[in-house]
Structure 1
């Protein structure tokens, strides 16, 4: 294993102590590197007393759901899949700027029910300190349901997480950040299952063409593709193949965003403070 920096080693030890002291815990597990690290360390410290739970939401890519199952098997996790119903909530479907609040409320309310049934006191997530400065209404839902964020409590940044994940040889240590499919839809545009399936199908096409980091932003009949600057030349050389494949998913027009890949680009210009329960 690569040697950890002293600072990350200290954070790792504190994370182990924090999770180990909880006794029994539910970990909200999406397959991203953040929640994966929490799930892995919780399993290290608590074994089957750490219940690792993934929501098979319509906004979670099937490839990410498959990844959680694969990792759970490889790591020997006490793993469970639950179904959340955020698409049945008008507040979610209307896609306001605080959409994530409604999604996380659906998730955490269900996890709270599981915790009560299983007599588990703590629910934890993979939020890290870098998330605190971003537009994340889901943090309000976490607070409402008293969900703990051990990576925040022990001072982990995204860079720290990737360093430790690589040290522990987690298979997804280098996995690009992957937000839910609904994040590809501009705020104010209603979301339904067919739109999410269309976006997922288009992104699957890009993956099949060999791209590894991308977003397909949904603008009605226009698919706006964001990829890193280093992939621009290759994408332009493959423009016909990309266009044909994306159009086969139901889009009339396919655009390559010259500004490149930007995680959370649809959050640009949003106020930091939003009203959580608009009338």
Structure 2
């Protein structure tokens, strides 16, 4: 771990100035922390605000940046204006990251930051992440991936550096809650967001509310499925979800898995190969 941390520090020392694409998640927060520790005022964090980001997550990002000490600004992105994104194709994230980096890169150059860096880690390279390609095409760098830092090591280093949110659950954009091919709208994003906030306030942290049509499918950790059923006031929850616009509320008995909606891609490939 210490060797990789030293490599990250050396990498930022070579950059001298860097703008961090900072979502507030633990990956980009660690990048922001190391960049600030090495570069001081030579580092700045920018967070993209859009309908796919929960207001609560934006508040967390602001608080975390303040705790780190890094300069932090918020910019608006408009990925939903792009019909290629709103149609929610399998490469939706490509258009999301294109919008993000097409917004950040000109600002970085204007403000004198030759590098835009993100929080992509080594494990991300082994998942289906079309957004990584969009970032690379626009010259972004991924220090964690370059050094080979895995997700587990991200948390280990963050804990070592004293970041209080080292174990913060992953919280990708709300658009990831919809099956590929289902159109994404602001109303749908807000509906999912309100449902997840409701569950968070009940004390459930690692959760997702997947949305398909008028159905909400709740995912909690596999070992918490039984506990969720026994401890949750289900009639009250159902009524709350109906007030958000869901006609049906279900629980995924398999439990939460990161990137679960990508399983359909693997299934389609396997089915095609099996013909």
Q: TM-score, structure 2 length as denominator? A: 0.94
* Counterpart for residue 37 of structure 2: 44
Q: Which deviates further from its counterpart, 229-238 or 79-88? A: 229-238
Q: Show the counterpart of 1:158.
A: 151
Report the CA distance between 1:271 and its aligned residue: 5.8
In the TM superposition, 1:130-279 aligns within 5 A as: 130-237=123-230, 238=232, 239-270=234-265
Q: Distance in 2 between matches of 1:75 and 1:229?
A: 33
The equivalent residue for 2:28 is 35
Task: Pick one of 37, 45, 49 that aligns with 1:56.
Answer: 49
Distance in 1 of aligned mates of 2:266 and 2:128: 8
Distance 1:101 1:202 in 2: 26
Matched with 2:100 is 107
- Name the CA distance, whole Å, in 2 between partners of 1:43 and 1:131: 23
- Give, in angstroms, the shift of residue 57 of structure 1: 1.7
| Structure with the largest fraction of helix | 2
How many residue pairs get matched? 265
Q: Which residue of the partner structure matches residue 271 of structure 2? A: none
Where does residue 76 of structure 1 map in the other structure?
69
7, 18, 26: which is aligned to 1:14? 7
SS in 1 for 2:204: coil
- Using the TM superposition, give the Cα deviation of residue 174 of structure 1 relative to its aligned residue in structure 2, in angstroms: 0.4
How big is each residue's C-alpha offset from its partner over 1:215-255, in whole Å with a ceiling of 9 and x where there is no partner?
00011111000111222123212222322222221111100
Segment drifting more, 249-258 vs 71-80: 71-80
The superposition leaves residues 182-220 of structure 1 with CA deviations (integer Å, 9 ceiling, x where unpaired) of 000110000011100000000011011111111000111
Q: Which has the higher contact order (CA 8 A, sep 6+)?
A: 1
What is the rounded CA distance, in whole Å, between the counterparts of 2:252 and 2:211 in structure 1? 12
Hey, what's the Cα distance between the residues in 2 that align with 1:265 and 1:193? 22
Unmatched 5+ residue regions in structure 2? 268-275
Distance in 1 (CA, whole Å) between partners of 2:112 and 2:244 is 45
SS at match of 1:55: strand
1:157 to partner: Cα distance: 0.5
